[in-house]
């Protein structure tokens, strides 16, 4: 199992901050320029990078990330090219930042679970998030990932009953990704009132860090969550900023959210 993720969370904690897990879509608007976005997010203070690999049928994603997937696919971003052309470049420019891939199970299955884990690990990926792979279906992939030292990061939802949430947390690798809203990825003006209780419950059960994600787009929300989570994931807001105003906008948004994450 990778210690890199744990160390990144510990470094943020030692500075008195929650960790920022920053998501962008590899290949949006094209492969080289998406590398600039990832590097800019780290300059802005991102502690962990989540590299999105596009899938044609992204059922867990809202309109912003759906549109980014379509652009990335048009630009020729597929898992193989992301591993060969994007990940090594990001690694070179951000050597201290742990890299995680987020994609859909079919994309990994098409390459082969073992082959993916091996290739990704060699190029510097430490964890993978597959939003359409619930625990019941994950045994095979997780075993393959474990053998290669790749964390399969589990998700926990607002609809997950407490006992199931505890089981997911106890068993987790890397960190637990707590989905804040019942819904798809995207910015929200409000988060559910019981989110903090759920985060507390998952955190008590987990031996790895716990982050909240989906719907977080600004420093205010980050500030309210950092008392209950080890960090936050920001996706759609960064994807939109990078697409409309370029890497600099993504850097500024990261810096702003980092302010909110100060304890």
Partner 1 sequence: MTTDTAVGRFGRYGGRYVPETLVPALLELEEAYAKAQQDTGFGDEVTRVLREFVGRPTTLTPAHRLTESWGGAQVWLKREDLAHTGAHKINNTVGQVLLARRMGKKRIIAETGAGQHGVATATACALFGLPCEVFMGALDVERQALNVFRMRALGAVVRPVESGSRTLKDAMNEAMRVWVSQVQDTYYVIGSAAGPHPYPTIVRDFQSVIGREIRAQTLAALGRLPDAIIACVGGGSNAIGALHPFIPDTAVRLVGVEAAGHGLQSGQHGASLTLGTEGVLHGSRSLVLQDEHGQIQEAHSISAGLDYPGVGPELAHLAKTGRMEVRTATDDEALAAFYEVARTEGILPALETSHAFAAARSLARDMGKGQHLIINCSGRGDKDVATISARGVPPATGVKS
Q: For partner 1, which residue of 29, 183, 246, 248 counts as binding (CB under 8 A)? A: 183
* By CB under 8 A, residue 79 contacts partner 1: yes
Q: How many residues does the chain have?
A: 263
Choice among 28, 36, 61, 113 that is catalytic:
61
- What's the CA gap between 169 and 139, in Å, rounded? 15
Q: Is 17 a catalytic residue?
A: no
* By CB under 8 A, residue 160 contacts partner 1: yes
For the chain, strand residue ranges (E) read 19-25, 48-52, 99-102, 125-129, 151-153, 155-156, 176-179, 210-213, 231-234
Q: Is 96 a catalytic residue?
A: no
Query: Residue 42 Cβ, how far from partner 1 at the closest point, in Å?
Result: 27
* By CB under 8 A, residue 18 contacts partner 1: no
User: Is 250 buried (19+), middle (13-18) or exposed (0-12) by CB count in 10 A?
Assistant: buried
Strand 176-179: give its sheet, edge to edge. Answer: 151-153, 125-129, 99-102, 48-52, 19-25, 231-234, 210-213, 176-179, 155-156
* By CB under 8 A, residue 227 contacts partner 1: no
CB 84 within 8 A of CB 26: no
> Which range, of 22-30, 43-51, 151-159, 255-263, touches partner 1 by CB under 8 A?
151-159
Is 231 strand, coil or helix?
Answer: strand
- Beta carbon nearer to partner 1, 60 or 219: 60
Choice among 50, 113, 151, 230 that is catalytic:
50
Q: Site map for partner 1, 93-122, x if CB under 8 A?
A: -----------xxxxxxxx-----------
Residues that bind partner 1 (CB under 8 A): 54-62, 66, 70, 73, 78-80, 104-111, 131-140, 142, 154-161, 164, 167-168, 171, 179, 182-184
């Amino acid at each position: 199992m990778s210690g890199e993720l744990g160390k990144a969370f510990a470094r943020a904690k030692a500075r008195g901050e929650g960790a920022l897990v920053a998501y962008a879509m590899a290949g949006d608007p094209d492969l080289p320029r998406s590398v600039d976005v990832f590097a800019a997010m780290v300059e802005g203070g991102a502690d962990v990078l989540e590299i999105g690999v596009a899938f044609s049928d992204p059922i867990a994603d809202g309109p912003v990330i759906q549109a980014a997937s379509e652009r990335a696919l048009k630009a020729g971003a597929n898992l193989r090219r992301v591993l060969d052309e994007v990940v090594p470049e990001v690694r070179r420019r951000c050597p201290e930042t742990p890299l995680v891939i987020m994609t859909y199970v079919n994309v990994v299955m098409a390459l082969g679970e073992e082959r993916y884990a091996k290739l990704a690990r060699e190029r510097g990926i430490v964890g993978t998030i597959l939003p359409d792979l619930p625990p019941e279906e994950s045994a095979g992939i997780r075993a393959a990932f474990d053998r290669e030292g790749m964390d399969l990061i589990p998700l926990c939802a607002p609809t997950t009953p407490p006992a199931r949430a505890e089981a997911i947390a106890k068993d987790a690798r890397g960190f637990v990704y707590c989905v804040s809203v019942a819904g798809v990825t995207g910015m929200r003006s409000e988060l559910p009132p019981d989110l903090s209780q759920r985060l507390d419950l998952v955190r008590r059960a987990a031996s790895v860090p716990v982050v909240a994600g989906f719907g977080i787009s600004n420093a205010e929300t980050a500030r309210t969550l950092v008392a209950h989570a080890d960090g936050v994931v920001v996706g759609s807001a960064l994807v939109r900023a990078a697409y409309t105003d370029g890497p600099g906008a993504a850097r500024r948004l990261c810096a702003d959210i980092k302010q909110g994450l100060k304890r």
